[in-house]
Amino acid sequence: MTFEQLIPAPARAEGHSGGGFVLDGATTLWAGAGTEGTERWLRSTLGGALQLPLAPGAEGAPGSVSLRVDGELAAEAYRLTVAADGVEIRGGSAAGVFWGAQTFRQLLGADAFRRAAVRPGQERTVPPGVVEDAPRFGWRGMMLDVARHFMPKEGVLRYLDLLAAHKLNVFHFHLTDDQGWRVEIKRYPKLTEVASWRSRTKWGHRASELWDEKPHGGFYTQDDIREIVAYAGSLHITVVPEIDVPGHSQAAIAAYPELGNTDVIDTAALGVWDSWGVTPNVLAPSDTTLRFYEGVFEEVLELFPSTFIHVGGDECPKEQWKDSAAVQERIEELGLSNEDELQSWFIRHFDKWLSARGRRLIGWDEILEGGLAEGAAVSSWRGYGGGIAAAQAGHDVVMCPEQHVYLDHRQHGGADEPVPIGFVRTLEDVYRFEPVPGELTEEEARHVLGTQANVWTEVMEYHGRVDYQVFPRLAALAEVAWRELPAPAERDFADFERRMTAHYARLDALGVDYRPPGGPLPWQKRPGVLGRPIEGAPPNV
């Protein structure tokens, strides 16, 4: 492996002449204060993959790998120095050291990505040189929808490893939706007894006639969540939980019918939704609902230490609110002029509630409609527009426009893509995605915290399907999030593709079911299952 095969490519890498560093059974590991987590990670990953002890050694001992926090570097920056007599990874913080260790693993070859050694005595030579690196953005993420299809805990832990391998540091965990509620809330047991499973599932896009006639469900216990959050923390990944309100809430209403618009429909007759799209069955903006979700968020805050808490806020149809006498009374009583303002009032309630507890609200860009809550940040998904408006108004933004980084969308225009959805967005398209739109001034652009890919799982029934949609495109997103790249048209995609050759071997070693460059393998296809193959169609058609 060489410095020319890294993904994401580092800001600066320079090969030196002379002998490389030999990593073998005699190599020791020295960890300075604050780097113990990376020490453990190196010993378990490289120690397992290469069957090396990486025994603790003395500081500066010849033939050692040393880890050190260096306050001169920016927090997530690192400097990796490889010489014949030793390797040093310096980071501006524990996270910087960890990202440097991830780069070091890439220099050791694809086998370093396995869980155990495929042959004994794995000696490696790493070429001499220096890598100096730091991320462009502080928010480099992926959202995973575990509501449409549940991903068991082991799969989530595996995804955290995959994010870390790409130097991504935010896991946006979409835990609730119309089709399932996935987190145990102790005070509301029916959220897991009733709302965590559905009796059957639409197979394909909602226009499909096909059904998978078996129950689908699952949820994370609070201890599962604690484990996930702690594991993510060990990989320097923040887990941002999403509890979607006031739309995308049918599963919760199925469990607790009093949360719905009971004067408009018989909410007691609602089940957890078994199809896809946007349901009209949304929360009633009542005191009952507010108190209920405050109870939910109280438990969520205990489980998730992240500053940001995502409250959804997307795709809340207003028909039931228009038809409900109780809701109309509420609008009147609050002195609001319409249902958009009511949604805004609802979100503001949780903005104040979260702020009072030292957290910050983030929501999908619909939270801009009717006025953006103070201190709130926006996930700009319907395009750049919401993010631009939010940044211009002084709000923080995560850029994740569906036209660019929705990984449920198909990655090739061919007929063989499994359950093709939405826009065709190739690996190259993602590589040429620019998170900061040119309309923003430098000052406004500082509100762009970063970017993330969003993975909606309506047509991803198990982790192999998730892998297929996510990879290789997440590798491109990771480079976009990590590196200062030229303007989209000037980016060297040929060079990225060349580096991907080495990266596919790493993904193979990690057991990732990615889309091969030549298209889906026979078992990755889904012939006859209807998707949404209309290029340029409006969202959610």
Q: Which residue in 242, 314, 429, 461 binds ligand ACM (CB under 6 A)?
A: 314
Q: Which of 184, 315, 396, 479 is the catalytic position?
A: 315
Q: Does 273 bind ligand ACM (CB under 6 A)?
A: no
Q: Which residue is nearest to ligand ACM (CB)?
A: 314
Q: At what angle do helices 153-165 and 463-470 cross, to 10 degrees?
A: 20
In angstroms, what is the minimal distance from the CB of 314 to ligand ACM?
4
CB of 364 to ligand ACM, least distance (A): 4
Give the closest residue to 349 by CA, choosing from 394, 300, 313.
Answer: 313
Q: Are 530 and 207 in contact (CB under 8 A)?
A: yes
Choice between 8 and 420, CB closer to ligand ACM = 420
Classify residue 438 by burial, with Cβ atoms within 10 Å: 0-12, 13-18, 19+.
Answer: exposed
364 binds ligand ACM (CB under 6 A): yes
Q: Which of 39, 76, 88, 177 is catalytic?
A: 177
Question: Alpha-carbon distance 167 to 157, whole Å?
Answer: 15
Name which of 364 and 496 has its Cβ closer to ligand ACM: 364
Alpha carbon 66 to chain centroid, angstroms: 31
Task: Decide if 315 is catalytic.
Answer: yes
- Residue with Cβ nearer ligand ACM (314 or 444): 314
Least distance from ligand ACM to the Cβ atom of residue 381, Å? 4
Which residues have C-beta within 8 Å of that of residue 448, sequence separation ≥ 6? 137, 387, 391, 396, 397, 398, 399, 435, 436, 440
**How many residues belong to the site for ligand ACM (CB under 6 A)?**
4
Separation between Cα atoms, residue 145 and residue 407, nearest integer Å: 11
| Least distance from ligand ACM to the Cβ atom of residue 243, Å | 14
Q: How far is the CB of 397 from ligand ACM (least distance, A)?
A: 14
Q: How far apart are CA 1 and CA 108, in angstroms?
A: 6
- Which residue in this structure is represented by tokens 């040429």? 432
Give me the catalytic one of 236, 248, 310, 395. 248
How far is the C-alpha of 122 from the C-alpha of 111, rounded, in Å?
9
Specify the length of the chain in residues.
Answer: 541
Nearest to 31 by CA among 19, 41, 21: 41
Q: What 3-state class would DSSP assign to 121?
A: coil
Nearest CB to ligand ACM, comparing residues 285 and 313: 313
Beta strand 176-177 pairing with 201-202:
unpaired
> By C-beta, is 188 or 364 nearer to ligand ACM?
364
96-130 CB burial, b ≥16 within 10 A, e <16: bbbbbbbbbbbbbbbbbbbeebeeeebebbbbbbb
Question: What span, in angstroms and rounded, lies between the C-alpha atoms of 407 and 251?
Answer: 24
Q: Are 30 and 57 in contact (CB under 8 A)?
A: yes
Q: Peptide bond preceding 8: is omega within 30 degrees of 0, i.e. cis?
A: yes
Provide, rounded to whole angstroms, the least separation between the CB of residue 363 and ligand ACM. 9
- Tell me whether residue 335 or residue 538 sits nearer to ligand ACM (CB atom): 538
DSSP string covering 259-282, please?
Answer: GB-TTTS-GGG-----S-S--S--
Task: Single out the residue of 76, 133, 315, 408 in contact with ligand ACM (rule: CB under 6 A).
Answer: 315
- Asked whether position 458 contacts ligand ACM by CB under 6 A, the answer is no
With residue 78 as reference, give the H or E element that holds it.
Answer: strand 78-83
- Residue 466 C-beta: closest distance to ligand ACM, Å: 16
Query: How near is the Cβ of 417 to ligand ACM at its closest, in Å?
Result: 20
Q: According to CB under 6 A, which one of 139, 173, 381, 471 is a site residue for ligand ACM?
A: 381
Q: So which residues are the catalytic ones?
A: 177, 248, 315
Please report, as ranges, the residues that interact with ligand ACM according to CB under 6 A: 314-315, 364, 381
